[in-house]
C-alpha cells in the first residue's frame, strides 16, 4: 500500500509539474505542440486570459515543489527522536543511539563485534543488535544479559523510557579476540 501511494504521489508530481511547464510555455508562446494548444484553446474558450494562464502555470510548478520538499522534511524527522520540555526541544538522532548501543555492547566481555539498528515508532524505539561472540560461552545467557544491559543503559543515560524491545541476533562465533 505504501509503495502504491508513493508511485501515485510521484505521478501526480510529474503531471502537475509538466502541466505548469506547458502553461508557462504557452504564456510566453514558445510552444507549438498541438495537444497543448488544444488544451490552452479549451481554457481560453472558458474566457481565461493569457496572464491567468501564466499564473496558473506558476502555481502548478510551485505546488509539487512544495509537496516534494515536505516529503524530504518528513524523512529528516523520522531519523531522530524529538522530546519537548519547558526549556525547548531535544532531538536525538537514531545514528547516535546506534553508536551508543554498539559501544555498550562491545563493553561486554563475550561480545566480539556488533552492529545495531534502531527503528522508530512515534517517540519509542526498537533496538535490533547483530552480534558476534567469543566461543565457550553460553550464547543464550549472553544475549539475555546484553538485552537487559542495553535496555537499562538507553533508559538511564539517554532518557528514552519507551524502549519497545531489544532483539539480539548472534551472527557468528569468533575464534580470535578482536582488539
96 versus 59: the higher-pLDDT residue is: 96
Task: Specify the pLDDT at position 26.
Answer: 61
Task: Specify the pLDDT at position 115.
Answer: 93
Task: Specify the pLDDT at position 51.
Answer: 58
Banded pLDDT at 167 (limits 50, 70, 90) = very high
3-state secondary structure of 75: helix
Model pTM score: 0.57
CA dist 40 and 54 (Å) reads 11
Handedness of CA 102, 108, 111, 113 (dihedral sign): positive
pLDDT tens readout for residues 11-54 = 776 777 777 666 666 655 555 556 566 666 666 666 556 556 66
List C-alpha distances in Å: 27 to 32, 63, 70: 12, 18, 29
pLDDT tens readout for residues 122-152 = 778 999 999 999 887 788 998 999 999 999 9
Mean pLDDT across the stretch 103-122? 90
Cβ neighbours of residue 102 under 8 Å, at least 6 residues apart? 114, 115, 116
Note whether 93 and 79 are within 8 A (CB): yes
Task: Specify the pLDDT at position 97.
Answer: 92
Give the start-to-end residue ranges of the domains of the chain: 2-77, 89-173
Domain 89-173, CATH? 3.30.70.1350
Note whether 100 and 154 are within 8 A (CB): yes
3-state secondary structure of 32: coil
Amino acid at each position: 500500500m505504501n509503495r502504491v501511494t508513493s508511485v501515485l504521489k510521484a505521478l501526480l508530481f510529474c503531471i502537475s509539474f509538466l502541466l505548469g511547464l506547458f502553461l508557462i510555455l504557452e504564456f510566453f508562446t514558445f510552444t507549438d505542440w498541438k495537444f497543448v494548444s488544444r488544451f490552452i484553446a479549451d481554457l481560453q474558450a472558458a474566457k481565461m486570459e493569457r496572464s491567468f494562464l501564466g499564473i496558473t502555470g506558476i502555481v502548478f510548478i510551485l505546488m509539487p515543489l512544495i509537496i516534494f520538499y515536505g516529503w524530504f522534511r518528513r524523512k529528516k524527522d523520522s531519523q531522530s527522536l524529538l522530546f519537548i520540555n519547558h526549556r525547548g526541544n531535544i532531538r536525538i538522532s537514531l545514528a547516535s543511539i546506534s553508536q551508543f548501543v554498539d559501544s555498550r555492547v562491545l563493553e561486554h566481555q563475550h561480545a566480539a563485534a556488533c552492529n545495531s539498528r534502531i527503528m522508530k515508532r512515534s517517540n519509542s524505539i526498537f533496538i535490533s543488535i547483530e552480534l558476534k561472540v567469543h566461543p565457550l560461552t553460553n550464547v543464550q545467557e549472553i544475549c539475555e544479559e546484553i538485552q537487559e544491559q542495553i535496555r537499562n543503559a538507553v533508559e538511564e543515560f539517554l532518557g528514552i523510557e519507551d524502549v519497545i524491545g531489544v532483539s539480539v541476533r548472534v551472527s557468528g562465533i569468533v575464534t580470535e579476540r578482536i582488539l
